[in-house]
Structure 1
């Protein structure tokens, strides 16, 4: 029998109905906090009725069968946080100087509710507690872990009457320097507690009693009773299978390129030429991160992210010149409804044949420099062209931020060699990370003296692109090169505020 795919949910319900509970929800907590009469409801209020907060309930199937792949279970195990009576929206933010820890707030009809302290912008830190007991050895010490969650990463409607589309972001991709994230579950929808990343349990085949609970701080803030915050199932773990019939991951709809090149003489020359109030991108640079030396100590490697903090996507189309590996590039401007209203010529795109790239790059998007202690240039990176793609959600709380901006298929975003025209987009609120292993993501330092230097990331270096603000395009990261007693080069990287890079920065490029 064919086994399920590692990244797909697989559970067998031996009893038709998951656990249900009495509803003592957010409405009760917020109403009491505000001194208002207690109102509890599990349905959307009628027109003209007093607003109420949503009711939350953690549910699970009575029994689940899951398969291991390398002893790890890749399944969300059917655990759902059901939301009714209104949407649940959570925003996490931190100051752009990184000197404070992130804070999370539930935006609710009866007022904002502060959530427990956060360690990162994105997932809700230690949102659930997992308890696993071997049914064949109930006296053994239970396996207990806490797990962060991304609400909204994997959601489903509960009834045909539920809102047709989930308007909230479907991702919680993590970057240490992200500034703001939005998670949400609409009224009448259920959110997977474990999401696409799965439960990640590492257990041997057998039968287990599995209990998942929303941790106390979140339960109290969101108004979940003891019964609502906990769900249990009988978990049967089966040895790994063949994974036949695996489905490829889908991609979100995105802007598609024009089929013909516009008239180069019919565009705009500056932001002043755009109609008043036209949304515009705003390119900014995060501090360089994941800084390290290569094994020989001759190259300083780094990762960098340029992001769009404006209220409009940066849209650049390329049109290939006949018989050449060059495209003429144009920046497009859209109104609030996403309709094209203007464009300008912004240079070229080129085919990059390097093994770690092999796609089309837009030139002059950003530059990398290693500066001396006095901020004069010491070394410039050979990296000068980029494929624009949404790899990291940096701040989804800003005006015009695209909650569905992630593009999974970099091959189609950046194009193949045979491509005639292409559209590259950096959505509002999103950034584009280039990692250390990519060609050009390093500085030669063999001939540099020990001392203090700065890694400079500069967006839109020659002002080719039109954006709303050019004063925030630069970031500097202080480092110190030194040589130990054995003659080995080393690097110390200055921290940025309270950010802890040891937690890892995840990217796909």
Structure 2
């Protein structure tokens, strides 16, 4: 167990992880995909002149890429990305990471799909890095042109990559698999892969402090992982020349700083308090005249990849049933196969803090997720000129709207860290005694729903690429007259409860309590079952006013309070 004092849970942008990038359109392009469509993937074995001679045989190979790439510099730091692509020629490669519970080791399998035939093999445990892909599978080295090594890093290999491009016209018209690996503490399964005829960009992003203007980057896939993937012995390393240019000559430095620091909406922040990236971003902001932004809560060390800034224009996707007629709202009971199944995960990353008014508070992260088979879709329609919306739940089957019913209310939430529309009564948070007696409620009782974390992408109806369905979540501004909030099957929405959203401990004595989280507490939302709507997490409070502490026993054998969580 871990004792935490004056610690704060990860900010929502960081726990959003995947969803934050999805909203920017940085994980791929277009196309509605789900588990059903991918399960029957068939691929041709034809190669094209665009493929290299080494790729004439089916399999995974490095795709052709430029021998020279650009890196960007400011304030003495160089940010570079080698643009190395791993392509699937003549066959699809699908990877599943699964575990039975948070404390269980994850297994990793690869399924090769060729001409409709599926061949599955299990990866040796020694090369599996939990949900994050292949352990120590990728090494990135940066050196001078004279061979002096400036930096070298060995990291997990996520075959799913961070971007997709097509390498053969015989492949699918759009990618199928998510462009990430990993998940959160309670993720049960995730999928990644490369479709036949497509290539994934490997995570070779690097930053280092140097004044060199010409560098050499070498990217290598380790022999144990390359052997499992079937890469040829002479095709496991790529070397590229790197030209370093001043970033401010390409991007507006103020916009770069905004990406690094984040926007103070709902406490989102993409940089850690006091870390070097925060300081450099503030320097950029000052140089461009954009100042006065404070960074938010401390959290993950992952920072914005500057190379993705130019890709934001590719955000969005086509509606899965573009142009269909809307349904007339009714009170009829919807069919079960059009309903979501809302589940409450136990609280984690629990800590204490003292707010600006000197109040002791218990902070925590919460995640409510959808076990399927249908998405949770809630839309708001403005009620006159006031700041209220009538909320309707919409029901979908096979990507098409088949019904709707009025389900509650949305209201505009005006606050420094919000200023957008919230759906009321999605969940409730309570601190209760061990016998269930309420002790303190959370001030957070309304939400802007969005898929922030994959929880189980193997559930029926799971959507692998939410950004491609066209059913996007939006929180809206004060002038909005309509908005849509979505939680796809297989995905959860993480919020961190801090400040006034956390539990006030002023009148709470030291002792053992439980954090009770209830999704759909009033039963206003239609779902398949409410039997899994409540979760509990035990906490032990100690300390004295101004210095309260919390001890958090492990949950199902795993300590969720350690600093390094299973991300990406």
TM bracket (short chain): 0.7 to 0.9
Q: What is the aligned partner in structure 2 of residue 244 from structure 1?
A: 251
CA distance in 2, matches of 1:407, 1:380: 37
Q: Which of 70, 73, 80 pairs up with 1:68?
A: 73
Shift of 1:149: 3.9
Which stretch shifts more, 118-127 or 466-475?
Answer: 118-127
2:116 pairs with 1:145:
no
Q: CA 1:248 to 1:111, structure 2 compared with 1: closer, same or farther past 3 Å?
A: closer
After superposition, where does 1:198-213 map in structure 2 within 5 Å? 199-204=205-210, 205-213=212-220
Q: Which of 441, 448, 462 pairs up with 2:501?
A: 441
Q: What is the aligned partner in structure 2 of residue 114 from structure 1?
A: 122
* TM-score (norm. length: structure 2): 0.71
Q: CA RMSD in A?
A: 3.5
Counterpart contact for 2:473–2:484, Cα < 8 Å: no
2:558 pairs with 1:489:
no
* TM-score (norm. length: structure 1): 0.79
2:442 pairs with 1:378:
no
Shift of 1:370: 0.8
Q: CA 1:504 to 1:80, structure 2 compared with 1: closer, same or farther past 3 Å?
A: same
Unaligned runs of 5+ in 2: 1-23, 27-43, 48-55, 253-308
CA distance in 2, matches of 1:374, 1:332: 37
Counterpart contact for 1:379–1:444, Cα < 8 Å: yes
Q: What is the aligned partner in structure 2 of residue 93 from structure 1?
A: 98
CA distance in 1, matches of 2:242, 2:318: 39
Unaligned runs of 5+ in 1: 1-6, 10-40, 45-51
Counterpart contact for 2:99–2:107, Cα < 8 Å: yes
CA distance in 2, matches of 1:168, 1:420: 34
Q: CA 1:43 to 1:258, structure 2 compared with 1: closer, same or farther past 3 Å?
A: closer
Q: What is the aligned partner in structure 2 of residue 292 from structure 1?
A: 351
Shift of 1:235: 2.7
CA distance in 2, matches of 1:354, 1:378: 26
Q: CA 1:506 to 1:131, structure 2 compared with 1: closer, same or farther past 3 Å?
A: closer
Q: CA 1:71 to 1:222, structure 2 compared with 1: closer, same or farther past 3 Å?
A: farther
CA distance in 1, matches of 2:558, 2:145: 43
Q: What is the aligned partner in structure 2 of residue 395 from structure 1?
A: 456
CA distance in 2, matches of 1:8, 1:323: 32
Q: What is the aligned partner in structure 1 of residue 317 from structure 2?
A: 253
Counterpart contact for 1:259–1:421, Cα < 8 Å: no
Q: Which of 473, 487, 490 pairs up with 1:429?
A: 490
Counterpart contact for 1:54–1:88, Cα < 8 Å: no
Q: What is the aligned partner in structure 1 of residue 537 from structure 2?
A: 477
Q: CA 1:153 to 1:218, structure 2 compared with 1: closer, same or farther past 3 Å?
A: same
Shift of 1:141: 5.6
Shift of 1:290: 2.3
CA distance in 2, matches of 1:215, 1:429: 32
Shift of 1:426: 0.9
Q: Which structure has more helix as a fraction of its residues?
A: 2
Q: CA 1:42 to 1:253, structure 2 compared with 1: closer, same or farther past 3 Å?
A: closer
Q: What is the aligned partner in structure 1 of residue 176 from structure 2?
A: 167
Number of aligned residues: 449
Q: Which of 80, 83, 97 pairs up with 1:78?
A: 83
Shift of 1:368: 0.4
Which stretch shifts more, 60-69 or 98-107?
Answer: 60-69
After superposition, where does 1:281-360 map in structure 2 within 5 Å? 281-295=340-354, 298-336=360-398, 338-360=399-421
User: What secondary structure sits across from 2:497 in the alignment?
Assistant: coil
Shift of 1:67: 1.8
Q: CA 1:409 to 1:357, structure 2 compared with 1: closer, same or farther past 3 Å?
A: farther
User: What secondary structure sits across from 1:111 in the alignment?
Assistant: strand
CA distance in 2, matches of 1:71, 1:147: 24
Q: What is the aligned partner in structure 2 of residue 267 from structure 1?
A: 331
Q: CA 1:239 to 1:360, structure 2 compared with 1: closer, same or farther past 3 Å?
A: closer
Per-residue CA deviation, residues 389-434 of structure 1 (Å, 9 max, x unaligned), is 1122222222211112149999970111111122211111111111
Q: CA 1:144 to 1:112, structure 2 compared with 1: closer, same or farther past 3 Å?
A: same
Q: What is the aligned partner in structure 2 of residue 367 from structure 1?
A: 428
Counterpart contact for 1:366–1:461, Cα < 8 Å: yes
User: What secondary structure sits across from 2:225 in the alignment?
Assistant: helix
Q: What is the aligned partner in structure 1 of residue 199 from structure 2?
A: 190
Shift of 1:87: 0.8
CA distance in 2, matches of 1:506, 1:238: 31
Q: CA 1:463 to 1:53, structure 2 compared with 1: closer, same or farther past 3 Å?
A: farther
